[in-house]
Structure 1
């Protein structure tokens, strides 16, 4: 493996280098306990009856679980990244659109995540919101750079 591709960006991740279930589960749970998810759930919770809320949550999670479960199964079997799966499915040029959309949405979620943390903390603690955005943006970036080791 070359020094440039320690993250297996352009090749299958060898079975010995793959993360195991519990490590991956902890990251996936982090996606669930996200401020935007909590805000959406809270908004639904006060807008619906309890049974409507439970029905919507179960239906939404069923659809999401089927979709992400299928993606996870394919990725676990092949050891390929989302970009490489898109490349094999849509071709080299055709993979640009799904890769761009994924990258674009992640930049958006980054901004939403930092803002949904920084703004309430800044208001509650009377701190500078811009400083919090910079600090927590750097912390999120560091976790992305260093990843799961």
Structure 2
């Protein structure tokens, strides 16, 4: 029988858990994503400084509280998002959170590929479809 190196069916043992530095790098990678910067730039130019500062402060506060609770639950239990959904919603009910999470990842992938392909096409004139295919393969 094959070993489950991803701990998809049970908690991650303490010895296999990642440290703060590697998880921080993952979170910084999510933060310094071109689509996030584009959204922030659009938001910043559409609001006054005080409104922009308030929107950023409130948005980050809400997101920080939400992710802190999720991080605490995950760190305490050692369980993945999918296993936590199964315990919360049951084996049949866990399909909905998994579908939503999968859908966001497909969208994230598509936005990332487009954020690369469109500017490169404008700068080089290379066909957008070729750039999308190459970037999609490279990201995969």
Under a length normalisation based on structure 1, what TM-score does the superposition of the two structures give? 0.89
Q: CA deviation at 1:4?
A: 5.1
Question: What is the match of residue 139 of structure 1?
Answer: 138
Aligned residues: 140
Mapping of residues 70-89 of structure 1, within 5 Å: 70-89=69-88
Q: For residues 101-120 of structure 1, what are the structure 2 equivalents within 5 Å?
A: 101-120=100-119
**What is the CA–CA distance in structure 2 between the aligned matches of 1:15 and 1:140, rounded to whole Å?**
30
- CA distance in structure 2 between the partners assigned to 1:132 and 1:27 by the alignment: 25
Structure 2, gaps ≥5 residues long: none
Secondary structure at the residue paired with 1:5? coil
CA RMSD of aligned residues (A): 1.2
The Cα shift of 1:81 comes to: 0.6
The Cα shift of 1:135 comes to 2.1
The answer for the alignment partner of 1:45 in structure 2 is 44
Return the TM-score normalized by structure 2.
0.94
Q: Any residues of structure 2 matched to 1:12-31 within 5 Å, and which?
A: 12-31=11-30
User: CA offset at residue 122 of structure 1?
Assistant: 1.5
> Aligned partners of 1:68, 1:62: CA distance in 2, in Å?
10
